[in-house]
Amino acid sequence: MLQRMTQRMLLVMTASAIIWGGLSAAAWAAGPYLVEYRLTQWKTVHFDDPGQAEEHLATLKKLGCDAHASAHGGHIDVRYRCPAWRSLAVETDAGAHRWERWLRACGFETAHQH
In the predicted model, is pLDDT for residue 7 greater than 60? no
Residue 13: pLDDT band by 50, 70, 90 thresholds? very low
- Angle at 113 (CA atoms; ends 111, 114), nearest 5 degrees: 165
Segment 42-70 mean pLDDT: 97
The closest alpha carbon to 28, from 37, 38, 18, belongs to: 18
What confidence score (pLDDT) does residue 35 get? Answer: 94
- Can you point out the beta strands (E) in 26-108? 33-47, 66-72, 75-90
Q: What is the mean pLDDT of residues 38-60?
A: 97
Domain ranges of the chain: 2-113
Taking a C-beta distance cutoff of 8 angstroms, is the pair 48, 106 a contact?
no
Tens digit of pLDDT for each residue in 64-84?
999 999 999 899 999 999 999
